[in-house]
Amino acid sequence: MHRRHLLQSSLALAGIAVLSACATTPAAGPAFTSDRISVSVEGAGADVVLIPGLTSHPSIWDDTAAHLVGTGHRVHRVWVSGFAGRPSGANATGEQVGQPVAEEIARYIREQGLTRPAVIGHSMGGWMGMVVAARHPDLVGRLMVVDMLPFMGAMFGPPGATPDQVRPVAEQIRDGIRSVPLDQRRTRAEATIAGMIRTESLREGPIQHTLDSDYDVAGRSFHELIVTDLRPELAHITAPTTVLYVTPTGAPLTDAQLDVFYQLSYQTLPTHRLVRIPEAAHFIMFDNRSRFFAEVDAFLSTE
């Protein structure tokens, strides 16, 4: 697999994109404060936590949140510090970003008194959802992962590659993201987003929010995704899990090959359903909204 194709696929998996800002509604429970995330709440009913991906703003969930509120749910949208214009806070330092953020999401669920909410995460948000569900299985009622693998490092090495084997590539990508010259950021963001969103009219918002993100936080987050293998932890997840995925734009893989890759990646997850979504790129909720909503409804109605 050529490095260019690998990078296109990995960027697609990481979700470096967002839409416009959304209003913040105070949570119903005690005041929650964090230097790694903020959470907005809307609607009433069964709780659903929505986690966006790398550099994504919570407004990527605008249509999804409206659908969920309209079907009787209370929606909790996470905004990660350092992404899409939110100050970096505690995410400004440290080798890890996703795992500490996942712990804050777990703390939010616990302190706000949510009873085993559904968790839906896109890309890196799906990865963080897996962390919460694996390390705090009592907190998550069901989990949906939207276009993400439990070990991104598998995309960067030979079959059976370990985190240590892909670490040099992860370091190269991290440093590359950190050092993108200001005058080249828009061009690169446009190229990346074009491979992640088929619907051209929806790209400009994600491009701008990518530019509004802290590139150091983004680089360290991407590094963490590549070198952290969650596959051994999947067996701890007790929540029924649905994984939606697409064949990445530019990836030299057939649909059948990708199906096998996902089956192998998630084989230790006790209760799961894998669904490849056609006619969509990485942002499934943008490109094939009706199918995405149908899958979300089925996911939430499963006993």
Q: For 240-270, what is each residue's pLDDT tens digit?
A: 999 999 998 777 889 999 999 999 999 999 9
- Entry pTM: 0.90
For the segment 209-252, what is each residue's pLDDT rounded down to a tens digit?
A: 899 999 999 999 999 999 999 999 999 999 999 999 999 877 78
- The amino acid at 134: A
Give the model's pLDDT for residue 26. Answer: 38
Give the pLDDT mean for 272-288.
97
pLDDT at 248: 87
Please, which residues have CB within 8 angstroms of residue 267's CB and are 6 or more apart in sequence?
Answer: none
Mind spelling out the 3-state secondary structure of the chain? CCHHHHHHHHHHHHCCCCCCCCCCCCCCCCCCCCCCEEEEEEECCEEEEEECCCCCCHHHHHHHHHHHHHCCEEEEEEEECCCCCCCCHHHHCCCCCHHHHHHHHHHHHHHCCCCCCEEEEECHHHHHHHHHHHHCCCCCCEEEEECCCCCHHHHHCCCCCCHHHHHHHHHHHHHHHHCCCHHHHHHHHHHHHHCCCCCHHHCHHHHHHHHCCCHHHHHHHHHHHHHCCCHHHHHHCCCCEEEEECCCCCCCCCHHHHHHHHHHHCCCCCCEEEEECCCCCCCHHHHCHHHHHHHHHHHHHCC
**pLDDT over threshold 60, residue 13:** no
Per-residue confidence (pLDDT) for residue 250, from 0 to 100 = 76
pLDDT over threshold 50, residue 2 = no
Residue 12 binned pLDDT confidence (cut-offs 50, 70, 90): very low
pLDDT of 9 > 50? The answer is: no
What percent of the chain is modeled with pLDDT above 70? 90
Pick from 159, 143, 147: nearest CA to 50 = 143
| Cα–Cα distance list, 274 to 14, 145, 169, 188 (Å) | 19, 10, 28, 31
- Confidence tier at 17 by pLDDT (50, 70, 90): very low
- Give the model confidence (pLDDT) of 80-91 as tens digits: 999 999 999 999
Q: Which two tokens stand for residue 250?
A: 């530019």
Ramachandran category for residue 141: left, alpha or beta (phi over 0 → left; psi -120 to 50 → alpha): alpha
With a cut of 60, say whether residue 56 has pLDDT above it: yes
Q: Output the pLDDT for position 302.
A: 72
Q: What is the pLDDT of residue 22?
A: 34
- How far apart CA 125 and CA 13 sit, in angstroms, is 10
- Distance (Å, whole) CA 271 – CA 284: 22
Mean pLDDT of the chain: 90
Residue 220: strand pairing partners: none
Q: Taking the alpha carbons of 150, 75, 296, 107 in that order, is the dihedral positive or negative?
A: positive
Separation in Å, CA 42 to CA 68, 69, 85, 131, 286: 10, 7, 21, 25, 21
Closest CA relative to residue 205, chosen from 85, 78, 69:
85
In terms of phi and psi (left: phi > 0; alpha: psi -120 to 50; beta: otherwise), the region of 60 is: alpha
Q: Dump pLDDT digits (tens) for 179-220.
A: 999 999 999 999 999 999 999 999 998 998 899 999 999 999
Q: Is the pLDDT of residue 15 over 60?
A: no
